Amino acid sequence: MNTVTKRILIVGGGTAGWLTAALLAKQHGQSIEICLVESSDIPTVGVGEGTWPSMRTTLQKIGISESQFITECSATFKQASKFVDWISPANEYFHPFTQPAGYGKVDSAPYWESLSVAPTFCDSVTFQSHMCKMGLAPKNITHKEYETVANYGYHLDAGKFAVLLRNHSVNKLNVKHKVANITQVNQHPDSSISGVETDSAGRLEADFFIDCSGFSSLLLGQTLGVPFIEKNDILFNDTALAMHVPYKDKDDPIACHTISTAQTAGWIWDIGLQHRRGVGYVFSSKHQSLENAELILKNYVGPKAEDLAIRKIQFKTGHRACFWRHNCVAVGLSSGFLEPLEASALMLVETSANFIADQLPMNKAEMKPMEKRFNQVFTAKWRGVIDFLKLHYVLSERQEPFWKDNKKSSSIPETLQEMLMLWQNRVPSEYDFLQSYEAFNAASYQYVLYGGGFKTDFSLLSHTLTHKDRAKRQLEITVKTAQQMALQLPKHRELIKQIKRQGFAKL
């Protein structure tokens, strides 16, 4: 019998579960029944509190007001990631969300160093790093919701975000919600899932299942037996120590970028929310003891650190061998986990949930080809994320064992080694990323490569560099734009205060 997809069961809440539920419910309305079952015993991990600009589109799509989101989730604006001491002590560079000036028309990268408009690549080709240094918000209160002057994502409180998504999904989008513990997973003779048994909500059956059960991967991993492919030979970090750090004063400036500061055997993230900073040390337990890691984190936070609780999170770096099997697909931590560098975790949740909503199998016959397509797309996407994260380490000149081990060719994916070889004589371009589902584009690679001191020798291609005058004008406009922004845009915290008082204009 060719069963029509009418019922969807999402196992697990948190950001992954509720974001997926909201996107499905918004897109398919009353044509399908969506139920989410979650345990009251499992807290939100809350490691990844940064998003990509794509979150603006997602929130707008499911019908959540930006003003409401910022107010209820203690959210702030994220315009970039700042990398401190990754290459060497006192070195820093930005990876902003706004693409380089003229990107897609005339590539400024081959020209910036010789034209010397600014001392760094990022400062030369975009105004956004200047905005971050000045602490400016990406727009004014007079702009409409989700409208931009500079491209931006968000920093958010993951626990509060899950609550907002749950309330919106249940109250506005008619998603059914069950709070119960799953005691058994039932399967059809062909091994596909038929339903689950719970301790307080009875038996829950569906045609299609979405596994958002976190690290346990209850459906895809435990029940369907999809193995976990570790990537700790590439990305060494396996432990995080996290703290909630209050501001010294309620009016302290809020950084509008994630700050990532390299340490002996890993790096510290520093994310500014409205009421606190989220600070944590991600490190390799093979290269550093827990005791030393705690000392490094406390030293970074300062004198008040002794009074703050430290949460330890251990994780395996990697992902499932496939992400969709039979009538079950994994979203979020149940599909895999990589260290919270470059805010890739929530991006993968968004792209997975959007794919499922757009390509939901209409019946059982479509299940197999859609499974194949999804696995092809997300195998490539995870590979791209791993390559890009590894690039940050490969560029380092630090001499500690952790950093030297990261530069060994045995730890660098062949795909990344090949690109690094090509980039010795040419700028990263979209020709290097032919699939539309690549996680990071050429502009992102340029920011990290040249921010990290990589040198491209253009001598063999000098005859192709025929747009010097046009590139120079673009670079000069970048500096002037940054100066104009300083006169037009408010400080980050000031805009947050205005949003909470009156909100943005509605779309």
Domain boundaries, given as residue ranges, for the chain: 7-75+155-232+317-368, 239-314
What per-residue confidence (pLDDT) applies to 44? 62
**CA torsion 176→180→182→186, rounded to 10°?**
-40
CA distance linking residue 229 with residue 226, whole number of Å: 9
CA distance linking residue 422 with residue 138, whole number of Å: 35
What per-residue confidence (pLDDT) applies to 1? 42
What per-residue confidence (pLDDT) applies to 106? 75
Residue positions counted in the chain:
507
Q: What are phi and psi of 148, to 5 degrees?
A: -130, 150
What per-residue confidence (pLDDT) applies to 167? 98
Q: Each residue of 281-313: b (16+ CB within 10 Å) or e?
A: bbbbeebbeeeebeebbbebbeeebeeeebeeb
CA distance linking residue 112 with residue 106, whole number of Å: 12
Q: What are phi and psi of 77, to 5 degrees?
A: -95, 140
Please check whether residue 445 is in contact with residue 388, taking contact to mean a CB–CB distance below 8 angstroms. Answer: yes
What per-residue confidence (pLDDT) applies to 243? 94
Q: What is the pTM of this model?
A: 0.95
What per-residue confidence (pLDDT) applies to 480? 86
Please check whether residue 446 is in contact with residue 110, taking contact to mean a CB–CB distance below 8 angstroms. Answer: no
Give how far Cα 365 sits from Cα of 24, 219, 326, 362, 370, Å: 20, 21, 11, 8, 9
What per-residue confidence (pLDDT) applies to 170? 97
Q: DSSP letters along 249-266, please? A: STT----SSEEEEEETTE
CA distance linking residue 438 with residue 444, whole number of Å: 12
CA distance linking residue 107 with residue 123, whole number of Å: 15
Please check whether residue 388 is in contact with residue 444, taking contact to mean a CB–CB distance below 8 angstroms. Answer: yes
What per-residue confidence (pLDDT) applies to 76? 97
What per-residue confidence (pLDDT) applies to 2? 59
Please check whether residue 102 is in contact with residue 474, taking contact to mean a CB–CB distance below 8 angstroms. Answer: yes
CA distance linking residue 497 with residue 72, whole number of Å: 13
Architecture per CATH, domain 7-75+155-232+317-368, reads as: 3-Layer(bba) Sandwich (3.50)
Q: Which residue has the tokens 């550093």?
A: 288
What per-residue confidence (pLDDT) applies to 479? 81
How do the pLDDT tens digits run along the chain, 507 residues long? 456 789 999 999 999 999 999 999 999 988 999 999 999 876 665 545 899 999 999 999 999 999 999 999 999 999 999 999 999 988 999 999 999 877 777 777 887 877 766 678 999 899 999 999 999 999 999 999 999 999 999 999 999 999 999 999 999 999 999 999 999 999 999 999 999 999 999 999 999 999 999 999 999 999 999 999 999 999 999 999 999 999 999 999 999 999 999 999 999 999 999 999 999 999 999 999 999 999 999 999 998 899 999 999 999 999 999 999 999 999 999 999 999 999 999 999 999 999 999 999 998 899 999 999 999 999 999 999 999 999 999 999 999 999 999 999 999 999 999 999 999 999 898 888 877 678 899 999 999 999 999 999 888 777 777 788 887 888 888 888 888 888 899 999 999 999 999 999 775
